[in-house]
Amino acid sequence: MNGHRTSGSLQTRLLLLLMAAVTFVWLIAAFLTWTDARRELDELLDGHLAQAAALLVVQQGHSDDDHEIADVPSLHKYAPKVAFQVFHDGQLMVRSSNAGHSPMSTQPSGFSTVQLDGAPWRIFATRGTENEVQVFVGEQTDTRSAILRAVLRSMLLPLGFALPVLALLVWWAVRQGLAPLRQLSQMLVHRSPHSMTPVVLGDMPSEVEPLVQALNALFGRIESMMAAERRFTSDAAHELRTPIAAIRAQAQVALGAGSNSRERDHALRTTLAGCDRAARLVDQLLTLARLEAGSDNGSMAADDVDLCAVTRRVAADLAATALARGQTLTLDTPVECRVRGNDMLTAVLVRNLIDNALRYSPDGAQVQVDVARHIDCPFIQVQDSGPGMSQKNMARLGERFFRVLGNAQPGSGLGWSIVRRIAKVFGATVEVGPSGLLKGLSVRVVWPAGEASSPGALKSVA
């Protein structure tokens, strides 16, 4: 069962988040509109009450001393919602038809909210200039609520109808915005599993471009790994075929030797040499495969390595080979020279350099190994007194399975590929040329400046 759990559609999530945000903002705006409209409406209607009271005060101040109560008839459908009373020296002089005979409010002036006949009323009270006139003007508060609802209805209903339209437009905008992702998804779904060509999208947004670039980089790395795997398979099949065939042939010779012990011993020794060659070839192939796979996926760790210690250790291992052929192996290294690398890979690099010099130099030749620095760049240099190499052949060093014609020494040609690959992994460069000291071949591997941790301990070479 697949343990990967999906979190739903990105388009659905964007739509929900956007609609939630739009609805929240819409509700906040509606609440603020309702609050502001109610406040403004109260202020407006309170101003009307105050204005009506002032008119009544002025009118009553110019009236005669008639003590008969005047009832004002209702002339409008909203008239029952509004009431007023005018008192002169405590006596009710004028009132609306829906107002009682007792004062509508106990407050002599200002606004107040009271209950009259079970309904809430908004009352404004004021006195005349000589305080003998008392005026009360009131209005039912449900009238205000009705007006407020009408105002809000005229404002919010269009917004309510606009909300679904807005949701539809948001959905369309999100869908159009995510179209490149759907296009990329469809392209990857219908893509051949063997295709490593870069993904190309028309009119690619800047937000999608890093994703496409990362995918293309991934395809490039996968293609490199697949090519390395194919090369490794081809190399192994190509190179192992020869030593295996030789081992088989020598085994058949040993079987047919019968009582001829000298011929049998020679065939067995040749078989052992073929096994050694095959084992060395397998080690080189595996090293090259690890280098290519490790550098491609970034897993090749780099540490401080003492190049002098590694060189001395490798030279000691190869000293017996040099002595067997009467060769002179000279080593000149300082106390310490630290470079950025990997101990195992650095040893492989040094071993291939020295082994190639010993292998392709004649018996009795000289091989000189130096570790030093030049302009703060630590390096290892291997020189030999062998026959050297033409410029054409030097240019081809590092090609897989390239070997100089006419050389009888066994080998696969992978050693140089390994040297150049290790140098590339750790930022070093390989320089090949004729040896001015021993007149043979000179190989120098140089690390970048600043790689040596103790520059003062290194010998300077011009």
Q: HEC string of 439-455?
A: CCEEEEEECCCCCCCCH
Q: Mean pLDDT of all residues in the chain?
A: 75
CATH code at 301-457: 3.30.565.10
User: At residue 313, what is the residue type?
Assistant: R
CA atoms within 13 A on the CB side of 203: 6
Strand partners, 122: 113, 139
- Residue ranges covered by each domain of the chain: 10-168, 226-293, 301-457
Strand partners, 443: 382, 432
pLDDT value, residue 280: 66
Helix axes 414-425, 261-297, angle to 10 degrees: 20
- With a cut of 60, say whether residue 101 has pLDDT above it: yes
The rounded distance, in Å, linking the Cα atoms of 249 and 241 is 12
pLDDT value, residue 363: 92
The rounded distance, in Å, linking the Cα atoms of 411 and 107 is 118
Q: What Cα–Cα distance (Å) separates residue 168 from each residue in 9, 20, 30, 175, 436?
A: 17, 14, 21, 11, 82
**pLDDT tier, 183 (very low <50, low <70, confident <90, very high otherwise):** confident
Q: What is the DSSP letter of 207?
A: T
**330 in helix, strand or coil?**
strand
pLDDT value, residue 406: 43
388: burial class by Cβ within 10 Å (0-12, 13-18, 19+)? middle
Q: What Cα–Cα distance (Å) separates residue 59 from each residue in 62, 133, 437?
A: 5, 11, 130
Rounded to an integer, the average pLDDT of 380-408 is 70
Q: What are the residues whose beta carbons fall under 8 Å from the beta carbon of 461, sequence distance 6 or more? A: 370, 372, 373, 374
Strand partners, 126: 135
pLDDT value, residue 177: 73
**375 in helix, strand or coil?**
coil
Region for 445 from its dihedrals, namely left if φ exceeds 0, alpha if ψ lies in -120 to 50, beta otherwise: beta
* Kind plus residue range of the DSSP H or E element containing 377: strand 377-384
CATH code at 226-293: 1.10.287.130
Distance of CA 332 to the CA centre of its chain: 49
Rounded to an integer, the average pLDDT of 116-122 is 85
Q: Are 370 and 336 in contact (CB under 8 A)?
A: no
**pLDDT tier, 285 (very low <50, low <70, confident <90, very high otherwise):** low
pLDDT value, residue 4: 43
Q: What are the residues whose beta carbons fall under 8 Å from the beta carbon of 388, sequence distance 6 or more? A: 434, 435, 439, 440, 441
Helix axes 179-189, 209-256, angle to 10 degrees: 20
Identify the top-confidence range among 125-129, 149-153, 276-280, 366-370. Answer: 366-370
339: burial class by Cβ within 10 Å (0-12, 13-18, 19+)? buried
The rounded distance, in Å, linking the Cα atoms of 186 and 198 is 15
Which of the two residues, 146 and 316, has the higher pLDDT score? Answer: 316
From the CA atom positions of the chain, what is the Rg in Å? 51
Which of the two residues, 399 and 227, has the higher pLDDT score? Answer: 227
Q: What are phi and psi of 281, to 5 degrees?
A: -65, -40
Tell me the residue ranges of DSSP E strands in 82-175: 82-88, 91-96, 110-116, 119-127, 133-140
| Model pLDDT for residues 290-327, shown as the tens digit of each residue | 666 655 544 455 678 999 999 999 898 888 889 989 99
